[in-house]
Structure 1
Protein backbone atom coordinates (compact mmCIF):
# COMPACT_ATOMS: atom_id res chain seq x y z
CA UNK A 1 0.00 0.00 0.00
CA UNK A 2 1.33 3.43 -0.98
CA UNK A 3 2.18 5.78 1.89
CA UNK A 4 0.11 8.89 2.54
CA UNK A 5 1.83 11.83 0.78
CA UNK A 6 3.22 14.71 2.83
CA UNK A 7 2.71 17.12 -0.07
CA UNK A 8 0.71 16.83 -3.29
CA UNK A 9 0.99 19.24 -6.22
CA UNK A 10 -2.14 19.09 -8.38
CA UNK A 11 -1.61 20.44 -11.88
CA UNK A 12 -4.57 21.57 -13.98
CA UNK A 13 -4.12 18.82 -16.57
CA UNK A 14 -6.51 15.86 -16.86
CA UNK A 15 -6.55 13.51 -13.85
CA UNK A 16 -8.69 10.36 -14.06
CA UNK A 17 -7.65 8.82 -10.73
CA UNK A 18 -9.78 9.27 -7.61
CA UNK A 19 -7.46 11.13 -5.23
CA UNK A 20 -10.08 12.27 -2.71
CA UNK A 21 -8.69 10.41 0.31
CA UNK A 22 -5.02 11.20 -0.38
CA UNK A 23 -5.72 14.88 -1.04
CA UNK A 24 -8.03 15.45 1.90
CA UNK A 25 -5.60 13.74 4.31
CA UNK A 26 -2.45 15.41 2.99
CA UNK A 27 -0.82 18.12 5.16
CA UNK A 28 0.16 20.26 2.12
CA UNK A 29 -1.84 20.44 -1.11
CA UNK A 30 -0.78 22.82 -3.87
CA UNK A 31 -3.21 23.98 -6.57
CA UNK A 32 -3.08 26.54 -9.38
CA UNK A 33 -5.15 29.39 -10.82
CA UNK A 34 -8.70 28.27 -11.72
CA UNK A 35 -8.62 25.19 -9.49
CA UNK A 36 -12.01 25.95 -7.90
CA UNK A 37 -13.60 24.13 -10.85
CA UNK A 38 -11.67 20.87 -10.26
CA UNK A 39 -13.85 17.75 -9.92
CA UNK A 40 -14.85 16.38 -6.50
CA UNK A 41 -12.74 13.22 -6.88
CA UNK A 42 -9.63 15.41 -6.49
CA UNK A 43 -10.59 16.30 -2.93
CA UNK A 44 -11.23 19.71 -1.45
CA UNK A 45 -8.05 20.47 0.45
CA UNK A 46 -5.83 23.37 -0.65
CA UNK A 47 -3.11 24.75 1.62
CA UNK A 48 -1.00 26.45 -1.08
CA UNK A 49 -2.48 28.34 -4.01
CA UNK A 50 -0.21 29.45 -6.86
CA UNK A 51 -1.56 32.23 -9.06
CA UNK A 52 -0.26 33.84 -12.23
CA UNK A 53 0.08 37.59 -11.66
CA UNK A 54 0.03 39.04 -15.17
CA UNK A 55 -2.14 39.21 -18.24
CA UNK A 56 -5.66 38.12 -19.07
CA UNK A 57 -5.47 34.97 -16.95
CA UNK A 58 -4.60 37.00 -13.84
CA UNK A 59 -7.42 39.45 -14.60
CA UNK A 60 -9.85 36.55 -14.96
CA UNK A 61 -8.77 35.27 -11.51
CA UNK A 62 -10.07 38.53 -10.05
CA UNK A 63 -13.47 38.05 -11.69
CA UNK A 64 -14.22 34.34 -11.09
CA UNK A 65 -15.00 32.25 -8.00
CA UNK A 66 -11.97 31.71 -5.80
CA UNK A 67 -10.94 28.68 -3.78
CA UNK A 68 -12.32 28.57 -0.27
CA UNK A 69 -9.88 30.32 2.05
CA UNK A 70 -10.50 27.73 4.76
CA UNK A 71 -7.28 25.78 5.29
CA UNK A 72 -5.31 28.02 2.94
CA UNK A 73 -1.94 28.98 4.45
CA UNK A 74 0.09 30.37 1.54
CA UNK A 75 -0.56 32.10 -1.78
CA UNK A 76 2.29 32.43 -4.24
CA UNK A 77 2.15 34.92 -7.12
CA UNK A 78 4.30 33.33 -9.80
CA UNK A 79 5.26 36.61 -11.50
CA UNK A 80 7.95 38.69 -9.76
CA UNK A 81 7.42 42.32 -8.75
CA UNK A 82 6.91 44.35 -11.93
CA UNK A 83 8.89 47.35 -13.06
CA UNK A 84 6.55 50.33 -12.35
CA UNK A 85 7.76 52.33 -15.36
CA UNK A 86 7.25 49.37 -17.69
CA UNK A 87 3.78 48.82 -16.21
CA UNK A 88 2.77 52.42 -17.02
CA UNK A 89 3.98 51.90 -20.57
CA UNK A 90 2.13 48.58 -21.00
CA UNK A 91 -1.09 50.16 -19.73
CA UNK A 92 -0.61 53.15 -22.02
CA UNK A 93 -0.22 50.99 -25.13
CA UNK A 94 -2.86 48.53 -23.83
CA UNK A 95 -0.48 45.56 -23.83
CA UNK A 96 -2.87 43.50 -21.72
CA UNK A 97 -0.70 40.38 -21.67
CA UNK A 98 1.99 42.32 -19.76
CA UNK A 99 -0.15 44.21 -17.22
CA UNK A 100 0.42 43.04 -13.64
CA UNK A 101 -2.53 42.27 -11.35
CA UNK A 102 -0.43 40.78 -8.57
CA UNK A 103 -1.17 43.49 -6.01
CA UNK A 104 -4.92 43.15 -6.56
CA UNK A 105 -4.65 39.39 -6.06
CA UNK A 106 -2.52 39.89 -2.96
CA UNK A 107 -5.17 42.18 -1.47
CA UNK A 108 -7.73 39.36 -1.70
CA UNK A 109 -5.64 36.90 0.30
CA UNK A 110 -3.19 38.89 2.45
CA UNK A 111 -5.47 39.18 5.50
CA UNK A 112 -6.14 35.43 5.55
CA UNK A 113 -2.76 33.84 4.84
CA UNK A 114 0.87 34.39 3.90
CA UNK A 115 1.28 35.87 0.41
CA UNK A 116 4.51 36.25 -1.52
CA UNK A 117 5.87 36.49 -5.03
CA UNK A 118 8.45 34.29 -6.67
CA UNK A 119 11.64 36.17 -7.32
CA UNK A 120 12.92 36.89 -10.80
CA UNK A 121 16.15 35.14 -9.78
CA UNK A 122 14.35 31.90 -8.89
CA UNK A 123 12.43 31.85 -12.18
CA UNK A 124 15.50 32.66 -14.27
CA UNK A 125 17.69 30.14 -12.46
CA UNK A 126 15.26 27.31 -13.16
CA UNK A 127 14.88 28.34 -16.80
CA UNK A 128 18.68 28.37 -17.15
CA UNK A 129 18.84 24.87 -15.65
CA UNK A 130 16.21 23.59 -18.08
CA UNK A 131 18.04 25.10 -21.05
CA UNK A 132 21.06 22.92 -20.23
CA UNK A 133 18.91 19.87 -21.04
CA UNK A 134 18.50 20.72 -24.73
CA UNK A 135 16.76 23.05 -27.13
CA UNK A 136 13.20 24.27 -26.52
CA UNK A 137 10.67 24.00 -29.33
CA UNK A 138 9.89 27.74 -29.10
CA UNK A 139 11.89 30.53 -27.52
CA UNK A 140 10.77 30.36 -23.86
CA UNK A 141 9.78 33.35 -21.73
CA UNK A 142 9.44 31.50 -18.45
CA UNK A 143 8.93 28.12 -16.82
CA UNK A 144 5.34 27.00 -16.16
CA UNK A 145 3.86 27.52 -12.69
CA UNK A 146 3.64 23.76 -12.15
CA UNK A 147 7.31 23.10 -12.80
CA UNK A 148 8.26 26.15 -10.74
CA UNK A 149 6.25 24.70 -7.85
CA UNK A 150 7.94 21.30 -8.19
CA UNK A 151 11.39 22.91 -7.95
CA UNK A 152 10.29 25.20 -5.11
CA UNK A 153 8.89 22.42 -2.93
CA UNK A 154 11.72 19.98 -3.64
CA UNK A 155 13.93 22.48 -1.81
CA UNK A 156 11.75 21.83 1.27
CA UNK A 157 10.81 18.14 0.94
CA UNK A 158 12.89 15.04 0.23
CA UNK A 159 10.28 13.96 -2.33
CA UNK A 160 6.88 15.14 -3.51
CA UNK A 161 3.74 13.64 -5.08
CA UNK A 162 2.20 15.16 -8.22
CA UNK A 163 -0.78 14.64 -10.53
CA UNK A 164 -2.26 16.50 -13.49
CA UNK A 165 0.92 17.44 -15.35
CA UNK A 166 0.45 17.22 -19.12
CA UNK A 167 3.32 19.51 -20.19
CA UNK A 168 1.35 21.39 -22.82
CA UNK A 169 -0.25 24.79 -23.24
CA UNK A 170 1.20 28.24 -23.87
CA UNK A 171 4.04 27.85 -26.35
CA UNK A 172 6.39 30.18 -24.45
CA UNK A 173 6.90 27.58 -21.71
CA UNK A 174 9.70 25.10 -22.55
CA UNK A 175 7.38 22.08 -22.27
CA UNK A 176 9.72 19.52 -23.78
CA UNK A 177 12.48 20.49 -21.34
CA UNK A 178 10.09 20.65 -18.38
CA UNK A 179 8.88 17.13 -19.18
CA UNK A 180 12.45 15.87 -19.41
CA UNK A 181 13.30 17.59 -16.10
CA UNK A 182 10.34 16.02 -14.27
CA UNK A 183 10.91 12.58 -15.81
CA UNK A 184 14.45 12.67 -14.43
CA UNK A 185 13.10 13.59 -10.98
CA UNK A 186 10.65 10.66 -11.24
CA UNK A 187 13.53 8.32 -12.14
CA UNK A 188 15.43 9.62 -9.09
CA UNK A 189 12.31 9.04 -6.93
CA UNK A 190 12.18 12.71 -5.93
CA UNK A 191 8.82 13.02 -7.70
CA UNK A 192 6.12 10.35 -7.35
CA UNK A 193 3.24 10.31 -9.84
CA UNK A 194 -0.23 9.74 -8.39
CA UNK A 195 -1.96 9.47 -11.77
CA UNK A 196 0.41 7.26 -13.72
Structure 2
Protein backbone atom coordinates (compact mmCIF):
# COMPACT_ATOMS: atom_id res chain seq x y z
CA UNK A 1 0.00 0.00 0.00
CA UNK A 2 1.24 3.46 -0.90
CA UNK A 3 2.03 5.82 1.98
CA UNK A 4 2.73 9.54 1.89
CA UNK A 5 1.26 12.11 -0.46
CA UNK A 6 1.09 11.99 -4.23
CA UNK A 7 2.43 15.31 -5.52
CA UNK A 8 1.46 15.85 -9.14
CA UNK A 9 3.47 18.43 -11.11
CA UNK A 10 1.59 19.24 -14.31
CA UNK A 11 3.39 21.15 -17.04
CA UNK A 12 1.75 22.96 -19.93
CA UNK A 13 2.67 20.32 -22.51
CA UNK A 14 0.61 17.36 -23.70
CA UNK A 15 -0.95 15.28 -20.94
CA UNK A 16 -1.70 11.56 -21.48
CA UNK A 17 -5.23 10.90 -22.70
CA UNK A 18 -7.54 9.96 -19.86
CA UNK A 19 -5.19 11.33 -17.18
CA UNK A 20 -7.56 13.96 -15.77
CA UNK A 21 -9.08 11.78 -13.06
CA UNK A 22 -5.69 10.49 -11.94
CA UNK A 23 -4.32 14.02 -11.70
CA UNK A 24 -7.36 15.27 -9.79
CA UNK A 25 -7.01 12.36 -7.34
CA UNK A 26 -3.51 13.45 -6.28
CA UNK A 27 -3.04 14.98 -2.84
CA UNK A 28 -1.27 18.05 -4.23
CA UNK A 29 -1.50 19.35 -7.81
CA UNK A 30 0.99 21.98 -8.98
CA UNK A 31 0.42 23.86 -12.25
CA UNK A 32 2.19 26.70 -14.03
CA UNK A 33 1.44 30.30 -15.03
CA UNK A 34 -1.80 30.36 -17.05
CA UNK A 35 -2.50 26.68 -16.25
CA UNK A 36 -3.03 25.55 -19.84
CA UNK A 37 -3.05 21.99 -18.49
CA UNK A 38 -6.53 22.51 -17.01
CA UNK A 39 -9.03 20.48 -19.01
CA UNK A 40 -7.42 17.35 -20.40
CA UNK A 41 -5.10 17.54 -17.39
CA UNK A 42 -7.93 17.74 -14.84
CA UNK A 43 -9.04 20.77 -12.89
CA UNK A 44 -7.67 20.42 -9.36
CA UNK A 45 -5.13 23.17 -8.67
CA UNK A 46 -3.54 23.50 -5.24
CA UNK A 47 -0.42 25.46 -6.16
CA UNK A 48 0.40 27.66 -9.14
CA UNK A 49 4.07 28.22 -9.85
CA UNK A 50 4.54 31.52 -11.67
CA UNK A 51 7.34 33.06 -13.67
CA UNK A 52 7.69 36.19 -11.54
CA UNK A 53 10.11 38.11 -13.72
CA UNK A 54 9.88 39.74 -17.13
CA UNK A 55 6.97 39.83 -19.54
CA UNK A 56 5.13 36.69 -18.34
CA UNK A 57 4.84 38.16 -14.84
CA UNK A 58 3.71 41.53 -16.14
CA UNK A 59 1.05 39.85 -18.29
CA UNK A 60 -0.33 37.82 -15.39
CA UNK A 61 -0.47 40.73 -12.97
CA UNK A 62 -1.87 43.22 -15.47
CA UNK A 63 -5.65 43.27 -15.73
CA UNK A 64 -7.91 40.60 -14.30
CA UNK A 65 -7.85 37.72 -16.76
CA UNK A 66 -5.25 35.62 -14.94
CA UNK A 67 -6.31 36.67 -11.46
CA UNK A 68 -9.94 35.74 -12.12
CA UNK A 69 -9.30 32.47 -13.96
CA UNK A 70 -10.83 29.30 -12.55
CA UNK A 71 -7.46 27.81 -11.65
CA UNK A 72 -6.26 30.90 -9.79
CA UNK A 73 -9.55 31.22 -7.92
CA UNK A 74 -9.14 27.63 -6.75
CA UNK A 75 -5.47 27.63 -5.80
CA UNK A 76 -4.40 28.00 -2.19
CA UNK A 77 -0.79 28.93 -2.81
CA UNK A 78 1.34 30.83 -5.34
CA UNK A 79 5.02 30.02 -5.82
CA UNK A 80 7.33 32.59 -7.38
CA UNK A 81 9.74 30.36 -9.27
CA UNK A 82 12.54 32.83 -9.85
CA UNK A 83 14.82 34.06 -7.07
CA UNK A 84 15.08 37.85 -7.23
CA UNK A 85 18.64 37.64 -5.92
CA UNK A 86 19.63 35.16 -8.62
CA UNK A 87 18.09 37.16 -11.45
CA UNK A 88 19.44 40.49 -10.23
CA UNK A 89 22.89 38.94 -10.40
CA UNK A 90 22.31 37.91 -14.02
CA UNK A 91 21.31 41.35 -15.29
CA UNK A 92 24.75 42.77 -16.14
CA UNK A 93 25.91 39.65 -17.98
CA UNK A 94 22.68 39.38 -19.96
CA UNK A 95 23.01 43.00 -21.01
CA UNK A 96 26.23 41.97 -22.74
CA UNK A 97 25.29 38.54 -24.07
CA UNK A 98 21.55 38.93 -24.75
CA UNK A 99 20.68 42.63 -25.01
CA UNK A 100 17.25 41.71 -26.39
CA UNK A 101 16.40 40.33 -22.95
CA UNK A 102 16.56 43.78 -21.38
CA UNK A 103 13.42 43.20 -19.27
CA UNK A 104 14.07 39.53 -18.51
CA UNK A 105 15.28 40.18 -14.95
CA UNK A 106 12.62 42.75 -14.03
CA UNK A 107 11.29 41.41 -10.73
CA UNK A 108 7.53 41.43 -10.07
CA UNK A 109 7.61 39.27 -6.96
CA UNK A 110 6.11 42.09 -4.89
CA UNK A 111 3.06 42.08 -7.14
CA UNK A 112 2.43 38.40 -6.51
CA UNK A 113 3.00 38.92 -2.78
CA UNK A 114 0.42 41.71 -2.76
CA UNK A 115 -2.07 39.59 -4.69
CA UNK A 116 -1.75 36.62 -2.37
CA UNK A 117 -2.01 38.80 0.73
CA UNK A 118 -5.12 40.51 -0.61
CA UNK A 119 -6.79 37.18 -1.46
CA UNK A 120 -5.79 35.17 1.61
CA UNK A 121 -3.38 32.81 -0.10
CA UNK A 122 0.12 31.71 0.80
CA UNK A 123 3.13 32.85 -1.20
CA UNK A 124 6.64 31.44 -1.32
CA UNK A 125 9.74 32.10 -3.38
CA UNK A 126 11.99 29.33 -4.66
CA UNK A 127 15.37 29.95 -3.06
CA UNK A 128 18.56 30.86 -4.85
CA UNK A 129 20.09 27.65 -3.45
CA UNK A 130 17.67 25.56 -5.52
CA UNK A 131 18.60 27.47 -8.68
CA UNK A 132 22.32 27.09 -8.09
CA UNK A 133 22.11 23.39 -7.25
CA UNK A 134 20.01 22.81 -10.35
CA UNK A 135 22.66 24.49 -12.51
CA UNK A 136 25.24 22.12 -11.02
CA UNK A 137 23.02 19.09 -11.58
CA UNK A 138 22.28 20.02 -15.19
CA UNK A 139 25.99 20.52 -15.88
CA UNK A 140 26.39 16.73 -15.64
CA UNK A 141 24.27 16.37 -18.79
CA UNK A 142 26.31 18.64 -21.08
CA UNK A 143 23.74 21.37 -21.71
CA UNK A 144 24.09 23.68 -24.67
CA UNK A 145 24.58 27.33 -23.65
CA UNK A 146 21.44 28.53 -21.88
CA UNK A 147 20.09 31.45 -19.93
CA UNK A 148 18.03 29.70 -17.24
CA UNK A 149 16.38 26.31 -16.67
CA UNK A 150 12.66 26.11 -17.37
CA UNK A 151 10.20 26.93 -14.59
CA UNK A 152 9.02 23.32 -14.68
CA UNK A 153 12.51 22.01 -14.03
CA UNK A 154 13.04 24.50 -11.21
CA UNK A 155 9.84 23.34 -9.52
CA UNK A 156 10.76 19.67 -9.91
CA UNK A 157 14.12 20.42 -8.27
CA UNK A 158 12.48 22.44 -5.50
CA UNK A 159 9.92 19.74 -4.70
CA UNK A 160 12.63 17.08 -4.55
CA UNK A 161 14.92 19.33 -2.49
CA UNK A 162 12.52 19.92 0.36
CA UNK A 163 8.82 20.36 -0.33
CA UNK A 164 8.31 16.60 -0.58
CA UNK A 165 8.95 14.36 2.39
CA UNK A 166 10.74 11.02 2.15
CA UNK A 167 7.56 8.97 1.75
CA UNK A 168 5.86 11.26 -0.77
CA UNK A 169 5.50 10.27 -4.42
CA UNK A 170 6.39 12.89 -7.04
CA UNK A 171 4.72 12.39 -10.40
CA UNK A 172 5.02 14.61 -13.47
CA UNK A 173 2.80 15.04 -16.51
CA UNK A 174 2.73 17.53 -19.38
CA UNK A 175 6.51 17.79 -19.70
CA UNK A 176 7.60 17.57 -23.33
CA UNK A 177 10.95 19.31 -22.72
CA UNK A 178 10.52 21.62 -25.69
CA UNK A 179 10.01 25.36 -25.96
CA UNK A 180 12.10 28.52 -25.58
CA UNK A 181 15.52 28.01 -27.17
CA UNK A 182 17.38 29.49 -24.19
CA UNK A 183 16.15 26.83 -21.75
CA UNK A 184 18.40 23.71 -21.67
CA UNK A 185 15.62 21.29 -22.59
CA UNK A 186 17.90 18.51 -23.83
CA UNK A 187 19.80 18.42 -20.55
CA UNK A 188 16.56 18.74 -18.59
CA UNK A 189 15.12 15.68 -20.34
CA UNK A 190 18.23 13.64 -19.56
CA UNK A 191 18.20 14.80 -15.94
CA UNK A 192 14.53 13.88 -15.53
CA UNK A 193 15.22 10.46 -17.05
CA UNK A 194 18.01 9.99 -14.49
CA UNK A 195 15.67 10.96 -11.64
CA UNK A 196 13.08 8.48 -12.90
CA UNK A 197 15.70 5.73 -13.15
CA UNK A 198 16.73 6.48 -9.55
CA UNK A 199 13.12 6.20 -8.37
CA UNK A 200 13.01 9.81 -7.18
CA UNK A 201 10.40 10.84 -9.74
CA UNK A 202 7.77 9.21 -11.93
CA UNK A 203 6.12 10.14 -15.19
CA UNK A 204 2.39 9.79 -15.60
CA UNK A 205 1.71 7.57 -18.59
CA UNK A 206 -1.36 6.24 -20.38
CA UNK A 207 -1.32 3.15 -18.18
CA UNK A 208 -0.49 4.70 -14.81
CA UNK A 209 -3.90 5.36 -13.29
CA UNK A 210 -2.84 3.08 -10.44
CA UNK A 211 0.03 5.17 -9.15
CA UNK A 212 1.12 2.46 -6.76
CA UNK A 213 2.38 0.60 -9.85
CA UNK A 214 4.58 3.48 -10.97
CA UNK A 215 4.27 6.06 -13.70
Range of TM-score over shorter length:
0.7 to 0.9
Q: Matched residues in 2 for 1:154 and 1:22: separation?
A: 21
Aligned to 2:29: 29
Q: Distance in 1 between matches of 2:172 and 2:179?
A: 18
Structure 2 vs 1, CA of residues 179 and 142 (structure 1 numbering), >3 Å: closer, same or farther? Answer: same
Distance in 2 of aligned mates of 1:170 and 1:41: 23
Q: Note the alpha carbon deviations across 1:54-95, whole angstroms, 9 max, x for none.
A: 11111111233243333x2321111112559x7xxx9xxx93
Structure scoring higher RCO (CA < 8 A, sep ≥ 6) equals 2
* CA–CA separation in structure 2 for the residues paired with 1:33 and 1:39: 11
Among residues 98, 106, 114, which one is paired with 2:113 in the alignment? 106
Q: Does residue 1:50 correspond to 2:49, yes or no? A: yes
Counterpart selection for 1:179 from 168, 189, 202 = 189
Equivalents in 1 of 2:126, 2:52: separation in Å? 10
2:80 is aligned to 77
Residue in structure 2 matched with residue 65 of structure 1 by the alignment: 66
Where does residue 119 of structure 1 map in the other structure? Answer: 127
Q: RMSD value over aligned CA atoms?
A: 2.8
Give the whole-Å Cα distance in 2 for the aligned partners of 1:128 and 1:188.
18
* Partner secondary structure for residue 50 of structure 1: strand
**3-state SS of paired residue (1:69):** helix
State the partner residue of 1:143: 149
Question: Number of residue pairs matched?
Answer: 186
Does structure 1 conserve the Cα–Cα contact (< 8 Å) formed by 2:13 and 2:37?
Answer: no
Aligned residue number for residue 96 of structure 1: 103
Helix, strand or coil for the counterpart of 1:149?
helix
| Whole-angstrom CA distance in 2 between matches of 1:4 and 1:121 | 26
